[in-house]
A = this chain, B = another copy of it.
Amino acid sequence: MQKRYLMAPGPVAVAPEILAKMSEPIIHHRSPQFSAILQRIREDLKYLFQTQNDVIMFASSGTGGMEASVVNLLSPGDTAIVIRAGKFGERWTELCEAYGIKAVNIDVPWGDAADISVVEQTLNAFPEAKAVFMQAHETSTGAKQPVKEIAALLKNRENTVLAVDAITALGVYELKTDEWGLDVVVTGSQKALALPPGLALVSVSEKAMNLAKKSTSPRYYFNFLSEKKAVAKQTTAFTPAVSLIMGLGTVLEDIKKTGLEAVFAHHARLAAGTRAAVSALGLELYTRVPSEAVTVVKTPDGIDGQALVKKLREEYGITIAGGQGQAKGKIFRISHMGHLSEWDMIIAIAAVERGLNNLGFSIELGRGVAAAQKYFAADR
């Protein structure tokens, strides 16, 4: 039985304790016992999201949360501004188009962050835009996007909300939902929360909820209003993913006990140690604005990133991610999210050293690992 290590930026490694929790006997979802658990989880989600608003849970992937944002905020014929800085930016546009919503796209070169002044000009040019859709962190490039700054641009625009796909950002680094004025924040269970996929979590501001009341977009399952009603009754509109929610309860307790600050510091530490190794190996990051969620590295000239990923997965049992879309074959991505520690980063680096060597790019074995060792040791 080959031992396998999951270090892709989602789905991520889940702690055995959480897997055990999720395999407990299923509680009926319409029971006082489950209601009590839901209540506590909903309070803890406010801590995680740094919000006083309700956080809605859908039994879906993160994309379900994105779809919910589109259909609840906008009606057919409405205009939205979409910041597209990678593959997940494109998804916002596809969702708008599917629902007859006009998407004004701001295209950002892959690996870059959106330019605030361009966003501002676009807002001025399209004052009818009811929403701005963006990623907090574009997982396909590893580039952090200027959420706080864009939120500031919207502070005095009464008729425009900001919806943020924070699927690989929330719980990874600082994201102040209420303080910064983020109307909708979406995340998924299979990233920083280190759960299996299957839960989308969406915080909704009052301003966003008012748009939901007016939206004529067809929707049933992904409906903010029916979920809000269910929250008041301490239940959910549809049958929830009970076992995932049990796992979520335990994860949230742990995050609360650890403290968000420490959780952010953990991701930052893994990222910094990994980057010390990348640099020692003479490799380059794909983005100048890297996030703490994932380290995205350019594969050296002449080396196919997909071949590297395949070698690690098939020969070494180690799953990291390659590139998507235009970055395919050009990069590899090491997650800092999930049930991972600095020791796992050492494995990832060791495996990259070996993989590159075996593909013909000569690297002195141990050099990257030594740099990470030194970083982690000094920092302790």
Contact = CB atoms under 8 A, between A and B. Distances in A.
Interface of A: 1-3, 5, 15-17, 19-20, 23, 251, 254, 258, 315-318, 339-341, 343-344, 346-347, 350-351, 353-354, 357-358, 364-367, 369-371, 373-374, 376-377, 380
Given A350-B373, A366-B374, A316 B343 contact: yes
- Scoring A258, A339, A366 by chain B CB atoms within 10 A of each residue's CB, the highest score goes to A366
A346 B373 contact: no
A2 B373 CA distance: 18
14 contacts: A1-B17, A1-B258, A3-B341, A5-B343, A16-B19, A317-B341, A344-B347, A346-B350, A358-B380, A364-B370, A365-B370, A365-B374, A366-B371, A366-B374
B347 A373 contact: no
A354 B376 CA distance: 9
Given A318-B343, A354-B376, A373-B365, A1 B16 contact: no
A354 B353 CA distance: 21
Contacts of A317: 341, 343
A369 B371 CA distance: 11
Given A23-B23, A350-B343, A350-B346, A373 B377 contact: no
Contacts of A20: 19, 23
Question: How many copies of the chain does the oligomer comprise?
Answer: 2
Contacts of A19: 16, 19-20
Q: Tell me if A's interface is mostly helix, strand, loop or mixed.
A: helix
A346 B347 contact: yes
Nearest to A366: B370
Contacts of A16: 16, 19
A366 B365 contact: no
A40 B85 CA distance: 56
Contacts of A15: 1, 3
Contacts of A318: 343
Contacts of A369: 346, 350, 366, 369-370, 373
A380 B314 CA distance: 13
A354 to B, nearest CB: 5
